[in-house]
Amino acid sequence: MTKTVAQIDLVWADDESQALCVHAILSDGKLASEKMYCHLREWNGQENEIYPGLLVDQDGKRCTYFAEWGFDQKWIDFFVFLDQPLAVGQSVSRTHILLSTPETLTYRITAVIQLLPEC
């Protein structure tokens, strides 16, 4: 089993100017982090905003993560990754809940960048 630290870059399939960057531990290419730091670049209706956050494993399987966006969080997000090694082009779903109305968005992985050597 090889582990490494990686940056995972994703874009929203409907508007690639909106992106998510995640820093995670990978084991044999699959997510192995209980918590992952991230930042989301999103259009707020007037300008692009950057939201720093933390993705927290919800299922113990390292597939479904709850997003914690900080003290002023007005919505709930869940990100669901496939239970397989991450790859460019792979889809990730985001269930975005604002005012109790869920919306599912699709993100696409554009890069998996190894930040530290494998161990």
**pLDDT (tens digit, 9 = 90+) per residue, 1-54?**
789 999 999 999 999 989 999 999 999 999 999 999 999 998 877 888 888 999
Q: Is residue 110 part of a domain?
A: yes
| Total domain count, the chain | 1
pTM of full prediction above 0.75: yes
d(CA 78, CA 55) in angstroms, rounded, equals: 9
Q: Is residue 97 part of a domain?
A: yes
Q: Is residue 91 part of a domain?
A: yes
Chain segment 41-96, per-residue pLDDT in tens: 988 778 888 889 999 999 899 999 999 987 677 788 999 999 999 999 999 999 99
Report the CATH number at residue 44: 2.40.128
Q: Is residue 38 part of a domain?
A: yes
Q: Is residue 61 part of a domain?
A: yes
- Domain housing 95: 3-114
Structure tokens at 70: 């900080």
Q: Is residue 105 part of a domain?
A: yes
Q: Cα torsion at 101, 68, 11, 32 (round to 10°)?
A: -120
d(CA 5, CA 14) in angstroms, rounded, equals: 28
Q: Is residue 40 part of a domain?
A: yes
Residues 85/29, Cβ–Cβ less than 8 Å:
yes
Q: Is residue 119 part of a domain?
A: no
Q: How far is CA 93 from CA 3, 10, 47, 104, 117, in A?
A: 24, 11, 24, 7, 29
